[in-house]
């Protein structure tokens, strides 16, 4: 079985982190396809899933290219997605949490989009041209994801008393997974440099503005959940991978 | 008076002039169309489920994206068709209620399970393929909004069919297991796909009137025959076979003869006894019921906002 654990190159690790966030988020979003509360919104969330998976492919393809150059190992977007185990995945924990109801899903999406927006905005200026290009292309998509999820969080936060309560509960449940995004790892700091401060500031501001318009208050929490960036995940990720990787594992070396 | 309007209506149809929402039309024409278009819309939406079953397990990122985009297209078809039906004076919610109450039908094909990855290819190639046969003539159907919706739908359906075929082609050139998977999927989907064209002409009650009104332009049996002729050729490219020992080229008729369809199975599936009828309907009801608070909140919010402005 392949593993990317010996990789030391911070750019490769960072690319895998960005790709894994996008892939697992896209996977969770895609679980809604055909089951959404409103047909138009089913289509909208599937669009977001498609964008996220598309972004993951771009990050993986670039990571595979760098791995080939540095170690001579032949990898592809698919071997990175389908043949690594959970300890190799570097995504934040939030994306792997179950969707729960529609309100919890759009809240998750809001946090992810706010973060992706802020980080891509900085990466767009990165000296690494290919990274900058992927970030720039993704930023256009994320702008829409952020607007869409903001609108939903506001609508449900300020909708009926039932929806307000559901959003409060959802926020309480997922808020402990928010700090991990801006609790930067060494490989992120290596690539982001001082811009990590801007990202943290923009992220809190962007998210805070939407929550306040939705009439929601972030709970005060005594602890934060993290570990995803280093490969320490929730129990959920193993099941996502078991399902996602089934065919590649059951029929090794087959082309699809 | 009534006869005069009806004569004018039939004249328009005969002259290939499209009927538009505000035009006079016989009640029965309206009801036939509402039934047919809403059934079609439901089929698109219920049809998302069997394919949705494989999104999380698609074997490559490229295949996952293709599948997701395909299912999203089907949702889009559902939207166009619900809108077309709405022009006849029924609301989307009403149509949903009919579906959830088990009063509205949808294509029987979606009550079959998708058991292996090859089913994604077989559904695209055979199910979308049969749908195109049925639907291309509908691009010229007499009711304007339906005809226009079908033009958009058909373009995408033929794209789906090619993608499905291409995905089976890869399997057909793959490992022994992949080849077996491919043949197995064809075996399971073939006969149910032939049933998609509906009962034989001599038992089909709606056909004559619908042909006169140019809602339909070919009979069930004619369309089924065209489908068999097309697929019997395409399957050769895959190096696979169709599960019908009686399938044989008839030189005199210039068409393929094929074996007897098990209409008893068709009847059972239509009556709710197919392998997945219950799951499909339950999934739609669940999505609807669990989405109720979301729709209520969205409505309450937009009412608040419109009062404020
Ligand atoms: Fe369709
Ligand atoms: Fe269709
Ligand atoms: Fe289709």
| Mean pLDDT computed over every residue of chain B | 96
Q: What is the reported pLDDT for A3? A: 75
Q: How far apart are CA B8 and CA B242, in angstroms?
A: 48
Domains delineated in chain A: 7-250 (1.20.1260.10)
Q: Under an 8 A CB cutoff, do B290 and A155 touch?
A: no
- Alpha carbon separation from B264 to A178, B192, B228 (Å, rounded): 57, 12, 20
Query: Do the beta carbons of residue A52 and residue A96 sit within 8 Å?
Result: no
Average pLDDT over residues B159-179: 98
| pLDDT score of B205 | 73
Measured distance CA(B70)–CA(B48) in Å, rounded: 9
What's residue B244's pLDDT? 98
Q: Which run of H or E residues covers position B255?
A: strand B255-257
Query: Scanning every residue of chain A, which has its alpha carbon at the shortest distance from the alpha carbon of B167?
Result: A256
pTM (two decimals): 0.96
What local confidence, expressed as pLDDT, does residue B2 receive? Answer: 59
Ligand 1 geometric centre to CA of A77 (Å): 30
pLDDT-derived band at B203 (thresholds 50, 70, 90) equals confident
Q: Flag whether residue B286 sits within 8 Å of chain A, measured between CB atoms.
A: yes
Do B182 and B168 meet the contact criterion of CB atoms below 8 Å apart? yes
Residues of A (125-154) whose Cβ lies below 8 Å from B: 154
| Half-sphere exposure of residue B6: CA atoms within 13 angstroms, side-chain side | 9
Q: Do A159 and B298 touch (CB under 8 A)?
A: yes
- B293 contacts A256? CB cut-off 8 A: no
**Which residues of chain A lie closer than 8 angstroms to B301, CB-CB?**
154-156, 158-159
CA B64–ligand 1 middle distance (angstroms): 18
Q: Do B65 and A162 touch (CB under 8 A)?
A: no
- Give yes or no for B169 touching A (CB within 8 A): no
ipTM: 0.97
Supply the pLDDT for residue B270.
94
pLDDT digits (tens, 9 = 90+) for A129-182: 999 999 999 999 999 999 999 999 999 999 999 999 999 999 999 999 999 999
What six digits make up the tokens of B255? 């068409």
The model's confidence at residue B209, banded by pLDDT at 50, 70 and 90, is confident
Alpha helices by DSSP H, chain B:
2-14, 27-46, 48-52, 61-86, 92-100, 118-122, 128-135, 144-172, 176-195, 207-212, 220-238, 263-268, 277-290, 292-308
- Name the burial class of residue B237, with classes exposed (0-12), middle (13-18) and buried (19+) by CB atoms within 10 angstroms of its CB: exposed
- Between positions 78 and 117 of A, the ones with CB within 8 A of B are 78, 81-82, 101-103
pLDDT at B14 over 90: yes
Q: Cα dist. A122→A94, A128, A132, A196, A197 in Å?
A: 22, 12, 9, 9, 11
Q: Rounded to the nearest whole angstrom, what is the distance from the C-alpha of residue A218 to the centroid of ligand 2?
A: 45
- As a whole number of angstroms, the distance between CA B20 and CA A196 comes to 59
Q: What's the CA dihedral at A141, A17, A29, B61 to 10 degrees?
A: 90
Contact flag B72-A243 (C-beta cutoff 8 Å): no
Q: Measured between CB atoms, which of B69, B117, B296 is closest to A247?
A: B117
pLDDT of residue A48: 98
CB within 8 A of B39, min separation 6: which ones? Answer: B104, B105, B106, B107
Residues 10-39 of A with CB under 8 A from B: 23, 27, 30-31, 33-39
What average pLDDT does this structure show over B246-273?
97
Q: How many CB pairs under 8 A join A and B?
A: 142
**Ligand 3 mean position, distance from CA B155 (Å):** 9
* Residue B62 and residue A56 in contact, taking contact as beta carbons nearer than 8 Å: no
Give the chain B residue nearest A245 (alpha carbons). Answer: B57
∠ Cα A60 A65 A71 (to 5°): 115
Contact indicator for A181, A94 with CB cutoff of 8 Å: yes
- Cβ–Cβ below 8 Å for B297 and A256: no
Nearest to A142 by CA among A119, A170, A174, A126: A119
Tens of pLDDT, residues B210-247: 888 888 889 999 999 999 999 999 999 999 999 999 99
Q: Which chain B residues are within 8 Å of A40, Cβ to Cβ?
A: 79
- CA angle, corner B81, sides to A102 and A34, nearest 5? 30
Cβ-based contacts of B279 with chain A (< 8 Å): none
Considering only CA atoms, which of A25, A194, A218, A15 is closest in space to residue A108? A25
Q: How much is the CA Rg of chain B, to the nearest whole Å?
A: 21
The low-confidence residues of chain A, meaning pLDDT below 70, are 1-2
**Would you tell me how many other CB atoms lie within 10 Å of the CB of residue B308?**
6
Nearest to B291 among A31, A57, A102 (CB): A102
Phi–psi pair at B229, nearest 5 degrees:
-60, -40
In this prediction, residue B215 carries a pLDDT of 87
Local structure of A52: helix, strand or coil: helix
- Asked if B291's CB is within 8 angstroms of A159's CB, the reply is no
- Please state, for a pLDDT cut of 90, what percent of chain B lies above it: 93
Look over chain A and give the mean of its residue pLDDT values, rounded to a whole number. 97
pLDDT score, position A242: 98
Tokens 């992810």 sit on residue: A112
- Give the integer Cα–Cα distance in Å for A34 and A106: 16
**A102 vs B52, B57, B294: nearest CB:** B294
Taking the C-alpha atoms of residue A136 and residue A125, their distance in angstroms, rounded to an integer, is 9
d(CA B213, CA A89): 60
What is the distance, to the nearest Å, from the Cα of residue A71 to the centroid of all Cα atoms in its chain?
A: 27
């Amino acid at each position: 079985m392949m593993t990317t654990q010996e990789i030391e190159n911070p750019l490769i690790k960072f690319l895998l982190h960005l790709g894994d966030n996008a892939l697992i988020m896209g996977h969770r979003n895609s679980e809604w396809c055909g089951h959404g509360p409103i047909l138009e919104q089913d289509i909208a969330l599937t669009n977001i899933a498609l964008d996220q998976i598309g972004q993951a492919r771009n990050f993986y393809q670039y990571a595979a290219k760098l791995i080939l150059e540095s170690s001579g190992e032949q990898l592809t977007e698919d071997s990175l997605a389908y043949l690594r185990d959970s300890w190799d995945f570097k995504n934040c924990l939030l994306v792997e949490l179950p969707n729960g109801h529609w309100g919890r899903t759009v809240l998750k999406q809001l946090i992810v989009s706010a973060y992706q927006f802020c980080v891509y905005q900085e990466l767009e200026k990165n000296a690494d041209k290919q990274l900058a290009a992927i970030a720039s292309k993704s930023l256009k998509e994320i702008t829409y994801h952020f607007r869409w999820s903001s609108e939903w969080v506001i609508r449900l936060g300020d909708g009926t008393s039932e929806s307000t309560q559901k959003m409060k509960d959802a926020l309480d449940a997922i808020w402990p997974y928010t700090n991990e995004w801006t609790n930067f790892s060494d490989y992120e700091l290596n690539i982001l440099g001082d811009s990590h401060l801007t990202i943290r500031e923009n992220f809190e501001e962007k998210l805070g503005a939407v929550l306040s318009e939705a009439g929601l208050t972030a709970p005060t929490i005594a602890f934060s959940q993290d570990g995803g960036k280093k490969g320490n995940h929730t129990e959920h990720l193993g099941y996502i991978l078991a399902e996602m990787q089934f065919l590649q594992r059951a029929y090794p070396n087959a082309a699809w | 008076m009534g006869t005069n309007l009806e004569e004018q209506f039939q004249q328009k149809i005969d002259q290939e002039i499209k009927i538009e929402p505000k035009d006079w039309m016989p009640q029965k024409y309206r009801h036939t169309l509402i039934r047919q278009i809403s059934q079609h819309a439901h089929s698109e939406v219920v049809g998302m489920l069997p394919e949705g079953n494989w999104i999380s397990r698609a074997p490559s990122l490229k295949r996952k994206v293709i599948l997701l985009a395909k299912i999203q297209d089907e949702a889009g078809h559902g939207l166009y068709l619900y809108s077309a039906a709405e022009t006849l004076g029924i609301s989307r919610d009403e149509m949903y209620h009919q579906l959830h109450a088990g009063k509205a039908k949808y294509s029987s094909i979606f009550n079959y399970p998708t058991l292996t990855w090859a089913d994604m290819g077989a559904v695209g190639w055979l199910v979308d393929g049969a749908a195109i046969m049925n639907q291309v003539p509908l691009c010229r159907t007499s009711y304007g909004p339906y005809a226009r919706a079908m033009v958009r739908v058909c373009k995408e359906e033929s794209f789906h069919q090619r993608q499905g075929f291409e995905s089976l082609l890869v399997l057909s050139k793959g490992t022994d297991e992949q080849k077996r998977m491919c043949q197995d999927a064809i075996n399971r989907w073939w006969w149910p796909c032939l049933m998609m064209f509906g009962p034989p002409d001599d038992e089909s009650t709606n056909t004559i009137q619908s042909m006169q009104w140019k809602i339909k332009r070919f009979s069930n049996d004619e369309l089924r025959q065209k489908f068999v002729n097309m697929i019997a050729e395409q399957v050769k490219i895959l190096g696979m076979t169709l599960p019908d020992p009686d399938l044989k080229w008839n030189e005199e008729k210039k068409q393929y003869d094929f074996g007897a369809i098990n209409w008893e199975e068709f009847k059972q599936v239509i009556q709710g006894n197919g392998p997945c009828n219950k799951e499909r309907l339950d999934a739609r009801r669940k999505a609807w019921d669990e989405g109720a608070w979301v729709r209520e909140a969205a409505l309450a919010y937009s009412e608040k906002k419109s009062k404020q402005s």
